[in-house]
Amino acid sequence: MANKYFGTDGVRGVANLAPMNAETALAIGRATAYVLKREHKGLNRILVGKDTRLSGYMLESALTAGICSMGVDVLLTGPIPTPGIAFLTRTMRCAAGIVISASHNPFEDNGIKIFNSGGFKLPDAAEAEIEALIDNPGELLQHLPPPRGIGRAKRISDARGRYVEFCKNTFPGEYTLEGMKIVLDCSNGAAYGVAPDVFRELGAEVDTIHAKPDGTNINERCGSQHTEDLRSRVLALGADIGLAFDGDADRLITVDETGREVSGDHTIAICAQAMLQRGTLRNNLVVLTPMSNLGLRLALDKMGVRWEDAGVGDRLVLARMQKDGASLGGEQSGHVIFLDKHTTGDGIVSALQILAAMKHSGRKLSDLASIFEEAPQRLVNVEVREKPPVESLSGVAAAIAAAEKELGRSGRVLVRYSGTQKLCRVMVEAASQEAVDRISAAIAAEVRAAIG
């Protein structure tokens, strides 16, 4: 896979430093316009959206300049969830859609991810060609249009409304949300302008927290990675459910009416059961990742549902779903893909499927979430200064080998680098919490000693 600029989820880094500076953004815009305009003849416009980070203004302007310089028009949506760009790119017949977002990362970071005309993330070959052109800008200069051929940029005023209607249409028409009290945590991110409208227009009583972005507070102690405020608010209001999105709203973590956090693994299990009952679980198959909890796998086994592991990351989950014909797949982090409804993970769409399962069954979320008990698991994120192959770190490799020998068939160890941050993730699953804590701490200590 191309990896000088593109990681597991687009290009990402600290804002105003390469590669997340204006110069590289302009080059990405120019190269993307050239590659995708050539591939999609007749589609001469690119959609550009962003989350609420302060640096989004700078990167949006630079991308727009690069795209227009290649004779391609730009449609600007302003802040909107990443899956909204995927939807609008497809329905507005654009050659590509570009999102300026670093998802769940802190506000200092930003990123650029690209969708093709069908609303799917770019294949590796297209990313590789774009990377090559970024490093060889002279090749594009011969393709610059004359002054009359320079592209135009305009803002589209109805982007949010179109996306709100799309989301609502993924909820079964025979149900409404009337009588339900829902708390939303918008993470001061891209969901703030659309999520409240979706749930209110379906009839719910909606209370919203962390929906006042100021450019620097995105993901700050809120959203899908920090549900403390959401749990307190659900309990204080006696709400039926709490919904936490990340900064670009492609992930969802829920909170049940008792204030308990419900993981993405539970979302997958609940929706797999509901889809199995409705006959919409294609090929009786769910795609997971190595991070998925053992309890989820056992629950799917009990349902008689097949499961397969893709690599870690939504791109790999989607690729496996397309290859094997699955309609449901996702990650413990809350990135869940309903491929019969959307081309990418969508936190709002995921929430609506959970709510549909509650309506159809007449059961509370806490009851539905009892579908399985999570096996003891711990994920430790270790900040690292570099990312050499894990097997080349003798102390880390020895600690992993000792852990695997101790656990045998009763647990798992997974050590991998984040594709978007300078982190090494140490995941341990075992029969007891004591073993999980002890083994994960031992491996994490070796990682810190080697590259921390």
Q: What is the DSSP string of 104-143?
A: TS-TTEEEEEEEETTSSBPPHHHHHHHHHHHT-THHHHTT
Per the residue annotation, which of 103, 187, 333, 440 is the catalytic one? 103
Binning pLDDT at 50, 70 and 90, where does residue 39 land? confident
Could you check whether 6-157 and 262-347+356-362 share the same CATH topology? yes
| Span 319-376, pLDDT tens digits | 999 999 999 999 999 999 999 999 999 999 999 999 999 999 999 999 999 999 888 9
* Poorest-pLDDT segment among 207-211, 245-249, 404-408: 404-408
Top CATH class of 377-451 equals alpha beta
Q: What is the mean pLDDT of the chain?
A: 95
- Quote the pLDDT of residue 290: 87
The topology under which CATH files domain 162-258 is: Alpha-D-Glucose-1,6-Bisphosphate; Chain A, domain 3 (3.40.120)
Pairwise CA distance, residues 442 & 269, whole Å:
31
Q: Which residues of 103-140 are buried (b: 16+ CB within 10 A; e: fewer)?
A: bbbebbbbbbbbbbbebbbbeeebbbbbbebbeeeeeb
Q: Which residue has the higher pLDDT, 366 or 411?
A: 366
DSSP classification of residue 3: -
Q: Which residue has the higher pLDDT, 420 or 430?
A: 430
Domain 262-347+356-362 has CATH 3.40.120.10: yes
Task: For strands 96-100 and 109-116, give the pairing.
Answer: antiparallel
Query: What would the mean pLDDT of 248-274 be, rounded to a whole number?
Result: 97
pLDDT for residue 419 is more than 90:
no
Domain spanning 6-157: which superfamily?
Alpha-D-Glucose-1,6-Bisphosphate, subunit A, domain 3 (3.40.120.10)
Would you call the peptide bond into 19 cis, given omega within 30 degrees of 0 as the criterion?
yes
pLDDT for residue 216 is more than 90:
yes
Query: What would the mean pLDDT of 413-437 be, rounded to a whole number?
Result: 90
What percentage of the chain exceeds 90 in pLDDT? Answer: 88
pLDDT for residue 283 is more than 60:
yes
Q: Is 224 among the residues known to form the active site?
A: no
What percentage of the chain exceeds 70 in pLDDT? Answer: 99
Indicate the domain borders of the chain.
Answer: 6-157, 162-258, 262-347+356-362, 377-451
| Span 80-123, pLDDT tens digits | 999 999 999 999 999 999 999 999 999 999 999 999 999 999 98
- Quote the pLDDT of residue 2: 44
| Span 112-137, pLDDT tens digits | 999 999 999 998 899 999 999 999 98
Binning pLDDT at 50, 70 and 90, where does residue 225 land? very high
Query: What would the mean pLDDT of 382-406 be, rounded to a whole number?
Result: 95
Task: For strands 285-288 and 10-14, give the pairing.
Answer: unpaired
